[in-house]
Amino acid sequence: MKYEAVIFDLDGVICHTDKYHFQAWKALADKLGIYFDETINNRLRGVSRMESLEIILERYDGTLTDEEKTRYADEKNDIYKELLKQMSPADLSPEVKDTLDQLRARGVKLAIGSSSKNARFILGQIGLGDYFDAISDGNNITNSKPDPEVFVKAAEFLGIPAGKCLVVEDAEAGIQAATAGGMDSAAMGDAARYHIATYDMDSFADLLNIV
Ligand code: B16
Ligand code: MG
């Protein structure tokens, strides 16, 4: 076995919440009269909530105080959390669940490394609340991807050296974070287009050949 642990990004890897992020940011952008579209939304992948707000505000004419920014980020998160209530175990694909189960059966440790502060809520919604051996998320980090902190913490929580961990990511910043943390990476979706990861995946089940 090449890796003792696999650290999974959440959004865009285990499940897909982009459409809910989009709807929630769009509602806020509309309220502030800011242009916002799917292309701008793509830039928010893997990026923290406050950094996402800054990207959206690039098209805002006025200036906001830090208090106002925090209030608007909270407002977006309230809308987003309300939308997340629609998620259920049906949002976990059989391919993803089956692959995770097979990795676990081989004795591989499984962790989450997500920028999201809602990671535990999302995992609960899709029926994986108690599934992972460790969860490192937006609540236990001070620096977001491409800083390696979220993955370094996940490896620490597992007690496994970085060199024995594989990171699975859909965001370019996430692949950069894995590399900065001394970890190999496997890229899915958007991240696979940049060919900067150790492996580019076509499907989630490819992991069974990589690990
Ligand atoms: P929250 P990941 C990231 O999750 C999302 O991809 C990104 O779009 C979002 O802004 C970020 O979490 C923070 O999310 O507002 O819920 O704390 O891909 O790192 O699992
Ligand atoms: Mg992601």
Instruction: Express each pLDDT in 135-180 by its tens digit.
Output: 999 999 999 999 999 999 999 999 999 999 999 999 999 999 999 9
What class has domain 18-84?
mainly alpha
Across the range 109-128, mean pLDDT stands at 98
> Ligand nearest 81 Cα, by number?
1
11 is catalytic: yes
**Pocket of ligand 1, beta carbon within 6 A:** 9-12, 21, 44-49, 52, 77, 114-118, 138, 171
The b/e string for 174-210 (b: 16+ C-beta within 10 A; e otherwise) is: bbbbbbebebbbbbbebbbeeeebebbbeebebbeee
Domain range list for the chain: 5-15+89-210, 18-84
Q: How far is the CA of 139 from the centre of ligand 2 (A)?
A: 16
Q: What is the pLDDT of residues 68-114, one digit of tens each?
A: 999 999 999 999 999 999 999 999 999 999 999 999 999 999 999 99
At the topology level, CATH places domain 5-15+89-210 in Rossmann fold (3.40.50)
Which of 7, 8, 11 most suits a substitution to test ligand 1, by most atoms within 8 Å of the C-beta? 11
Q: Are the folds of 5-15+89-210 and 18-84 the same? A: no
pTM of the model: 0.95
Closest atom of ligand 1 relative to the 9 alpha carbon:
20
CA dist 23 and 30 (Å) reads: 10
